[in-house]
């Protein structure tokens, strides 16, 4: 099976850099994926992307060295299975607040006995090659999002769930949950949570990820120990 180069880098303790795609276009997805990012994440939660768009974008990204990731709309077994069968090599799952919800992420991302993913890798097995069933559990990245006060309070319980490869911080939702204006960076309790998440992930050997669509932000997160930095957004880049 094709190797997940993002997970290979995490195993070596390296930082990975990615792009965020909210525009429903296979052409723009391929353009972005050819710029040398480690991963390109198709955003089905807040972007304007449905499953048909996501499928075409995964195919476009798959023609490059960049790993195709998807942020699904919700922690729901069916859509996680569908994007994996389409060829996603990583799934980012929003609003995971409890260890039980984290376990649901793992169940959807892994074949038995580690999980309960249904077998039928429609496109994934064609693209990823021989040994998909045997190796998918090791190669697919399961990435719940920690983005609320409750999730931070239960962080150790979430990180103790077997099968999580990284947690991804939604900085705006974390801000809102803490009673602040949504933003990519905030002081006080938000900053304390940012540091706590990185330190806890390091203790468990799990990568911490964060949006950081400008150099000052991603250097800021690197210094705290984040090893998954989304350094570019197609909509932000187009606006700028």
The answer to whether the Cα torsion of 224, 162, 151, 170 is positive or negative is positive
61 within 8 A of 68, measured Cβ to Cβ: yes
Q: Find the Cα–Cα–Cα–Cα dihedral 171, 41, 165, 121, rounded to 10°.
A: 150
Q: How many helices (H) and strands (E) does the chain have?
A: 13, 8
Please indicate whether residue 221 is annotated as part of the active site.
Answer: no
61/88 Cα distance (integer angstroms): 10
Residue the block writes with tokens 């570019």: 232
CB atoms within 10 A of CB 237: 14
22/20 Cα distance (integer angstroms): 7
Helix (H) or strand (E) holding 173: helix 171-177
CA distances to 34, 94, 95, 176 from 198, rounded to whole Å, are 29, 18, 18, 20
Residue the block writes with tokens 């769930």: 161
Active-site option among 34, 46, 107, 149: 46
Instruction: List, by residue number, the catalytic residues.
Output: 46
């Amino acid at each position: 099976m094709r190797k997940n180069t993002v997970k290979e880098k995490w195993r070596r303790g390296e930082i990975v850099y990615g792009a965020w795609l909210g525009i429903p276009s296979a052409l723009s997805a391929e353009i972005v994926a050819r710029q040398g990012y480690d991963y390109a994440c198709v955003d089905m939660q807040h972007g304007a992307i449905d499953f048909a768009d996501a499928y075409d974008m995964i195919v476009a990204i798959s023609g490059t060295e960049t790993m195709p990731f998807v942020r699904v709309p919700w922690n729901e077994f069916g859509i996680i299975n569908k994007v994996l069968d389409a060829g996603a090599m990583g799934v980012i799952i929003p609003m995971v607040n409890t260890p039980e919800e984290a376990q649901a992420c793992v169940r959807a991302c892994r074949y038995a006995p580690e999980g309960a993913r249904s077998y039928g890798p429609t496109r994934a097995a064609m693209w990823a090659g021989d040994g998909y069933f045997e190796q998918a559990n090791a190669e697919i990245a399961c990435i719940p999002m920690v983005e609320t006060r409750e999730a931070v309070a239960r962080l150790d319980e979430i990180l103790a769930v077997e099968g999580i490869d990284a947690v991804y911080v939604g900085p705006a939702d974390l801000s809102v949950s803490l009673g602040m204006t949504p933003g990519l960076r905030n002081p006080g309790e938000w900053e304390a949570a940012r540091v706590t998440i990185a330190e806890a992930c390091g203790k468990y050997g799990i990568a911490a990820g964060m949006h950081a669509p400008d150099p000052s932000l991603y250097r800021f997160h690197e210094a705290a120990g984040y090893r998954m930095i989304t350094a570019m957004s197609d909509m932000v880049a187009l606006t700028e």
